[in-house]
Structure 1
Amino acid sequence: MPNEDRDFIQSIERGFAVLLAFDERHPTPSLAELATKTDLSRPAVRRILLTLQKLGYVAANGSRWSLTPRVLSIGQHYSASHALVETAMPRLVQLSERTHESASLGVLDGADVVYAARVPVRRIMSINVSVGTRVPAYATSMGRALLAWAPAETVERVIAESRFEKLATATVTSADALRAELDRVREQGYALTSAELEEGLISLAAPVRDATGAVVGVLACSTSSGRHTPEEFRAAAAGHVVDSADALSADLGSPTR
């Protein structure tokens, strides 16, 4: 466990726990709500909030707290220090133009996929996606494209950390079913999911490799069942998604696919 490591700083862990407790369901929580959500004492949460306030990352409004725009700078530092994001943007724009659908870059973080870059289109879907959004790897095309070529230990770690909740009609809900899907992804070279993360959402994703050949991200394209059936979307978009991912891989110095 991390807190048993002599180099582990628990106060930093608690600070991040408080920051991460702000979400779309709790955009302006009270101190008591933050204490409940983080399992920390109210005095501890109060000290953390006051420290974050002095650093400019949170602001108080009566008994409520909110994040400040300074939090966005953390994500900006990530983008600035990772060539993957900057290099991916022209490919995402190109993919979105070719498919007339949203295009995204995803990276693996724990058992989740994090949206690292995105070119949206104006469609109405219930899922609210922006850069920094986290989605479970097991229920997404991006997660499967990342895991299909990942080391076995990474796959087993993600499986162990996944709750396999049934999020929609077709959600994969077991480790064995996920492993079977990963086999399918390796065979066809891309991942396709429909009605797994949410009803009506269809998504395609293909792996992006770096100069060593390792998968470091995925390019994905998504649509709704109101616009396409899964097979229609496969026929219309799979080639574009794979070609864009391969082109980005080449940009990063990857050997020929």
Structure 2
Amino acid sequence: MANDDLRDEDRIEALPDVTAESGNEDRDYVTSLARGLEVIRAFNRSKSRMTLSEVAERTAMTRAAVRRFLLTLVREGYAESDGKYFRLRPKVLELGFSLLSSMDITEIMQPVVDELAQRLQESVFVAVLDDDAVRYVARATTQRVVSIGINLGSRAPAHAVSTGRVLLSGLPEEKLNAYLDNAVLEKITPHTVTSKVQLASLIEETRRQGWAIVDQELEVGLRSISAPIKNRSGEVVAALNVCCPSVRLTTKEMQAQVLPELLDAASRISLMMLR
């Protein structure tokens, strides 16, 4: 087919190769968007935290341009900075939850998550911290029909879930204090902890014992238990979680039957992240 015979929809796919360096312009090509995406893509598992200069070097952009993109990402909640280093935040996952299955973090975790769900015959989730909430980035369910309102990409208040306790326990003291100062602890069920003093104590307990269990604080009739997933630096980067109906297992039974399997699975995922 000659180029002149292309339909309009085909012409969209046949855009010219336009780059900032070429000096070419096309009304259908947004250079600033392409550059912003390139900045996001510069971060990966081996380079999850970078200075402005490092991002500029990896993207072959000027420091001034990279600075604008990074500060925009920070302002919009897609990145964070401690004044020197920048890193992406979980909110960036909103840009493509339909493609989560192709992301490294899910590729690493999913086989273990699936195996744990099958072994326990309970629902299993992986969550990351997203401001004052947790965001679920991986899941596995079984043939048991259980009404659990947790979907891939959904969020839950950190104070009311065991994943939140685990993730908050991994924060540096200043960030944890900032969370406790600013958090609004909504009473979601009659069991939800709304005292900041009590929550701080539970987070400290989680830090000491290395796991957390929450009994019907997010949803009446639902218990959950979580353990940390750590990166090569020993930082808590995610929480592995098992949920089950309260009629099926008591909290003591969850500790006896679920916790050993949960800790083993979390440890295996953490070891995989060292590779």
TM-score by length of 1: 0.67
In 1: Cα distance, 2:270 partner to 2:138 partner: 16
What residue in structure 1 maps to residue 163 of structure 2? 142
**Distance verdict in 2 for CA 1:110–1:238, change over 3 Å:** same
State yes or no: 1:214 paired with 2:240.
no
Q: Given the alignment of the two structures, is residue 247 of structure 1 paired with residue 251 of structure 2, yes or no?
A: no
Percent of pairs with identical residues:
32
Whole-Å separation in 2 of the counterparts to 1:193 and 1:214: 22
Task: Write the distance in 1 (CA, Å) between the matches of 2:173 and 2:159.
Answer: 15
Residue 118 in 1 paired to residue 134 in 2? no
Mapping for residues 118-197 of structure 1, pairs under 5 Å? 118-121=139-142, 122-125=144-147, 127-197=148-218
**Deviation string for 1:187-216 (max 9, x for gaps)?**
221100001111111001000001111111
Q: Give, in whole Å, the separation in 1 of the partners of 2:209 and 2:145.
A: 28
Matches within 5 A, 1:39-118: 74-77=96-99, 80=102, 82-118=103-139
Distance apart, 1:162 and its partner CA: 2.3
Q: What's the C-alpha RMSD, in Å, of the aligned pairs?
A: 2.7
Partner of 2:258: 237
Partners of 2:94 and 2:162 lie apart in 1 by: 27
Could you tell me which amino acid in structure 2 is paired with residue 129 of structure 1? I
Rg larger for: 2
- Residues in 2 aligned to 1:217 and 1:103: alpha-carbon distance in whole angstroms: 13
Q: Any stretches of 5+ residues in structure 2 without a counterpart?
A: 1-67, 79-92
Q: Secondary structure at the match of 2:96?
A: helix
* 1:32-88 residue CA offsets vs partner (Å, 9 max, x unmatched): xxxxxxxxxxxxxxxxxxxxxxxxxxxxxxxxxxxxxxx9871145554x4222100
Partner SS, residue 167 of structure 1: coil
The alpha-carbon distance between structure 1 residues 159 and 78, as it changes in their structure 2 partners (threshold 3 A), is farther
Show the counterpart of 1:200: 221
- Count of equivalent residues: 191
Q: Kindly state the Cα deviation for residue 152 of structure 1 after the two structures are TM-superposed.
A: 1.3
* Contact 1:111/1:159 (<8 A) preserved: no
Task: Measure how far apart 1:150 and its partner are.
Answer: 1.5
2:216–2:223 CA contact under 8 A, matched in 1: yes
Task: Answer 1 or 2: higher relative contact order, Cα 8 Å, separation at least 6.
Answer: 1
